[in-house]
Structures are given as C-alpha cells and as structure tokens.
Structure 1
C-alpha cells in the first residue's frame, strides 16, 4: 500500500562483480526525470571478503542499499547495472565529478555525481535524546510462529510505578519496517511515541519480523500472521500490569490489522490511521487510478486488470491474502471505541471509499467512536497539495500536529 510515483527500481538481490577499485565511498547527484528530481546515491566499498561492491539509494522512493552489478570500475571510470529492471549507469571521472549517463527502458538521461555524503533530509519533528521520559528495550514472543519481536517501550513523562496510564501498541504498514515505521527518512512512530509520552500515554513500537532485532521469517507471512504478532504484543503489555487501558494504533495495513484485533476483542480501543476497509483488489485499483489521475492520465484501471497482472507474477503469500481479504467482516464486529482517520489527499487508502465504509459500519456501535477526514493531508498525514501528495520524502513534516493532538486527546478521554 505504499506506491509512489514512477518507480525506477525494485529491491532485488544480485551478486556483485568486482574489479580493481579506485573510485570509493559515496557519490551522489540529481537525476532530472521530468517533473521528478530524484537524488541518486551510489556507495562504493568492499564486502567482508575484500571484494569490490556497490549499492544504490534513491531516498525519494524510500529505497536504500540496493545491490548493484559492477561491470567496470577503474581509477577514472565506472559502469554498473541492475539487469532485472534494465537500469544502467556509466561515467568518467573529470575534475572530481563523475560525468555520466543513466539509462532505463529506452530512456537516456545525464547524471553527474559528486563525492561525499548527500545532504541529510530535514525532519524538524524528530525528537532528539536526551528525552524527558523513560524508554526501555523489551521483547515479546509469538510462540506459535517462533517469532521474537523486539521493541521500545516508552513511558509517559513523570511516570511512576503503578500509575495506570493508557498504552498503545503500534503496528506498521505493509512491507518490512522497523519500530519507527521508518520510510522516506521519516520516523512516524518515533514522532507519535514522543508526543504521546508528553501527553501521559505510554507506547510500545516494535521491529517487524526479520527486521532490526526481531526474529522470525516474514517471507510467507500474511496480514493474519502479523496480526498474531500484534496480539502477542498486547498480551505482553497486559501481563506487565504496568498500565491501564491497552489499545492498538495501526497505520495503513496496521490499521487494517487493528480492525482484525478489535473484532477479536483483544484490545480496549483502536486508533486506525488510514486503515483500509475495502477488499484488497479494489484498493489497489483505486490506488493506481488515483496516481494516474494526479499525473493527468486516464484513470481507467479495473479490478480485473489488477488481478490479471498479479496472477502473471510469481506467487506472493502476502499479496494473495491481501487481494482477497475484505475488512468489512471484521469491522462490523467491533464494539470497542474506535478512532478512524484519513487525509483528504491520501492516494493509497482513499477516504471517500474507506473512511465512508468504516463510518457506516461503526457509527452506532460506540458513543466514543471518532471519525475524521483531515483536509490536505496525505497517506502519512503530512500537509500537502494534491499534486505532491506522494512526495513523502520532500515534505519536511512527519505528522500533522492536529492529528497528533487529536489522537492524544481521544485516548485520554476514554
């Protein structure tokens, strides 16, 4: 559920071919791809066994450490490629600049690189240590699936032992993500945890299976498997006996998982941030049409086309489950308090279809339910214009202050 503008890569692993290396370290430059200005970063280095290697980053597309084939690397020139996506780059070193050409799928563009680290993205909301609250490294186990999840338990400011404060378990969106839900150099869950701590609310955020310090094999997992991980986290929080109400806060797929868990009555409350409420194949068709529309192209993708294209690709357990899963069955069973929110410029979980369904199914279930569509916010709840709703990296804001305030106020009102 994290489609962005035109993707020029996929994270495929390929062996590296090594040559005598003279160009070393990090090199970066801007690729002018029409309305997109993409920063391309190459890291030249050595593998553990001393062979030359190269990896590529494209921060605007959330891509990091993508292995690259080196076909030539000399004192003054480099040639590399990623065959699976027909991407190639070659350059010659001239006066401390790698002057070269980027090619992909018949497109040829100039790309010049300079040595050194690229400018770090500005993220003004990201909290910096030392914090004025306590954090603790913890683990909990989903024994049935042999997965141990590692995370950060954040206590509220001025927390004292035995104080019955509310706590939320944070569940990330789709794809392998760390406990901060780090993407496009934003750390939404870190920002949310910091804000909640200052408002008297504890939180537990954790690395997904196979990410960071968490164990377990995510390769054949579905949303239902990840829901079981979250259930284990909720059980651990309850067993700690340190908190009062135990809730779940999920973003995107995490919001859908929150609905699954709410149906099973294993949480005291739910915060769904852009959680999906329609069948997966329909959601993907909507995403694609939304992206086509803001790029001035005909928005005529159908569910049938989506299913045909996915059927032609290698089997993927998560995707197969997601295509056929209809969240309405779970949502209709929920009676605990629910906060469900979306941004009006969300191009990945469109509020017109998803939030409308949630409201319809839950509006009369609990007097504490809260539904809101925030104007001019995107899928990450960043302020944006419609034409840059997918430019997550370029937007400095990580999460709208209004959203943060509403989440904290709603939880504290329960």
Structure 2
C-alpha cells in the first residue's frame, strides 16, 4: 500500500508540475517584416506569465523549409525548446521559414544570407516587446542555422549571445565534403560504389565551388561529369562485375547547384562573419552527427572573435545524432524512432544561459 501511495503522490506531483509549467507560459502569434525585400514572417512568441523584463531567444532553423515548431522526424524540436526555456525565465520567438505557414516568399529563391535578414527582422520586432530585456537578446541556430546566426550576429550589435545546436561553423565546401562522405561511408553501398560515390561527389562539389559565381556553372558541371563517367565506365568494366547499380543523379544535382542557395552555400566562409562576433557562444554537437560533423565545435572557437577571448563554451554529447537524440545506429533512418532530445541537453542550455546571460 505504501508503494501504491508513493506512486500516486508522484503522479500527482508530475501533473501539478505540468500544470504549473503550462500556466507559466503565455503564447501569441505575431507577424513582422524581414529586413530583406517584402517578406512577411509569421511567428509565435512564448513568454513567462509573470510581469517583468526577460532575456529573449530567436530560434533559427536549418536547411530545408520548416515550420515554426521545427517539425522533423516525428519531433517538434523548436516548440520543445520554447516550452522548456520559457518557464525558466526566457522569452522565445520561433518562426515559419519562407513559404511555410504564415510566412510569405519562396524558400527556393533565398540564400543563407537572406535567412539572416529574416532573423534581423525578428530581432527588430522583439525590441518592441515590453517584456524583453533589450540588453539580452540572443540567437539559437540548428544545423545551417549556425551559419545564419553567425551572419546575423556579425551585422547587428543588438545580438547579445549565440547558441549553436548541431550548428554549422565550417565553410560550405568542407561541410559538403564531410557530410556526404559521412552519409556514403555509413550507407549499405558496396566498398566499390562508396569509392565511386565519394569520388564524383568531391569532383562535382569542387567544380560548383570553382564556378559558383559564373554563368557557365551548368555547362562546366555537365562537362566534368561526362569526363568522369567515361573514366568510371572503364574502371567498372575492369572489375569484371556483371551489373552496375551505381547512379549519380546528375540532372537533379545540377539543377540544385545552379540555384541561388547552393551557389551561396558552397562559397560560404564562416571566418568572414565569426571574426566580427565577440559575444558569448554555446555550441553543442552530438558525437554521431553525420550532417554537421563534431569538428565544427572547434571552429566556433577558432574562427570567432569570442573564441579568441575565451567566451566560447563547447559540449560534445556522446552517441547523439543531428537532432540531438540519444541514438543506436545514429543514421537518419533511425530518427523517427527516437523521440525528442532529452531534458539533460536542454538543462545544459539553461545552465549556460543562467550563468552567462542573466
């Protein structure tokens, strides 16, 4: 009976805590303008109910059009972050990407630099909120969002701190090399096809980098591929294997590469922006992240002015993937089976915020 009573009390405590947490948050939908062109951005602001001035955080998404909740692989990463940080005394703004939800524009026509202008629009809007401490507004970026917040922070003195969650701090070309080799090397391809895939990927990425600012990029990519394909056909015949199952998606790759986002991204150099950023930075990566390699943690320190001043804190989480989930195989196919990031990761963020920002 004592055990049952204890369990009931524990359950009631959890329900009470959940009720208090929910009551400690108020949310409102807002719309504001980007600092770029005529984009209108839809967002949600989560705030503590109690009156006062609070530090504020803008959440910035990674590659691909995402909604304000950060709906990925069955999780709602950004909504979870907002709901976790707000009861701890932080205002959190999360927004729909271009062409998603209540945000206008087309995602496919924008670059990482354009996304930074959207963030600066969010920053200007937050400065009009009465419960925001204007001295303590920071940016939290996931994946490519790490590059976005680096650009935005380099362009505004109003950014007080940065938080990178699996955030990019390497240059665009290197990140493409490393990311794709991670994905290829952990795939079920044969050793021969892994070799071929890594070879053509590197060749195409390097060509895209070389001609990123050229009108001839499309013809150059096709010419380089044709040259490689002739050599590769001879190589495959020399192996004496009956069927060739390897295919490089040349048409779709070229169409992506000649677009504005890819041209900007492959040329992206974080040192240009991070060298101007001297605010405190927290960078967290999973050791099994195949999209943003953990080596990026070192770059946050190496490239930023903040790093030179000892104001960068890095945390490497063992056996954790790109979505900051504790993982087994840690491959993308597993993501939908793993649930949300654990409280311990968000506790580390709160601890750093309390010590650094408040």
Question: Structure 1 length as normaliser, TM-score?
Answer: 0.64
1:217 paired residue number: 106
Preserved contact between residue 274 and residue 341 of structure 1 (Cα < 8 Å): yes
Preserved contact between residue 339 and residue 371 of structure 1 (Cα < 8 Å): yes
Give the one of 330, 354, 358 matched to 1:412.
354
2:203 paired residue number: 304
Find the aligned partners of 2:31 and 2:98 in 1 and give their Cα distance.
12
1:145 Cα deviation after fit: 1.1
Give the one of 265, 270, 293 matched to 1:350.
293
The answer on 1:146 being equivalent to 2:45 is: no
Where in structure 2 are the equivalents of 1:385-396 lying within 5 Å? 385=328, 387-396=329-338
Where in structure 2 are the equivalents of 1:126-141 lying within 5 Å? 131-132=22-23, 133-141=25-33
Higher helix share: 2
1:216 Cα deviation after fit: 2.0
Q: Which residues of structure 2 form unaligned runs of 5+?
A: 1-17, 209-217, 223-253
Question: Structure 2 length as normaliser, TM-score?
Answer: 0.73
Find the aligned partners of 1:226 and 1:207 in 2 and give their Cα distance.
11
Where in structure 2 are the equivalents of 1:29-68 lying within 5 Å? none
Find the aligned partners of 1:259 and 1:142 in 2 and give their Cα distance.
17
When residues 159 and 326 of structure 1 are mapped into structure 2, their CA distance, relative to the original with a 3 A threshold, is same
1:306 Cα deviation after fit: 2.6
Preserved contact between residue 167 and residue 203 of structure 1 (Cα < 8 Å): yes
Preserved contact between residue 223 and residue 322 of structure 1 (Cα < 8 Å): yes
When residues 350 and 143 of structure 1 are mapped into structure 2, their CA distance, relative to the original with a 3 A threshold, is closer
Preserved contact between residue 300 and residue 312 of structure 2 (Cα < 8 Å): no
Which consecutive aligned stretches of 4+ in structure 1 deviate over 6 angstroms post-superposition?
A: 127-130
The count of corresponding residues between Structure 1 and Structure 2 is: 283
When residues 139 and 289 of structure 1 are mapped into structure 2, their CA distance, relative to the original with a 3 A threshold, is same
1:170 Cα deviation after fit: 0.6
Give the one of 137, 149, 159 matched to 2:50.
159
Q: Which has the higher contact order (CA 8 A, sep 6+)?
A: 2
1:272 Cα deviation after fit: 1.1
1:271 paired residue number: 163
Find the aligned partners of 2:326 and 2:27 in 1 and give their Cα distance.
29
Give the one of 225, 229, 233 matched to 2:122.
233
Give the one of 339, 346, 349 matched to 2:282.
339
Give the one of 182, 191, 201 matched to 1:290.
182
1:393 Cα deviation after fit: 3.5
Q: Which residues of structure 1 form unaligned runs of 5+?
A: 1-126
User: SS of the residue aligned with 1:191?
Assistant: helix
Preserved contact between residue 382 and residue 395 of structure 1 (Cα < 8 Å): no
1:235 Cα deviation after fit: 0.8
1:409 Cα deviation after fit: 1.6
Preserved contact between residue 319 and residue 330 of structure 2 (Cα < 8 Å): no
1:321 Cα deviation after fit: 0.6
1:259 Cα deviation after fit: 1.0
2:322 paired residue number: 379
Find the aligned partners of 2:308 and 2:129 in 1 and give their Cα distance.
30
Preserved contact between residue 300 and residue 307 of structure 2 (Cα < 8 Å): no
User: SS of the residue aligned with 2:30?
Assistant: strand
1:146 Cα deviation after fit: 0.4
1:69 paired residue number: none
1:71 paired residue number: none
Find the aligned partners of 1:384 and 1:135 in 2 and give their Cα distance.
32
What's the RMSD between the two structures over aligned residues?
Answer: 2.3
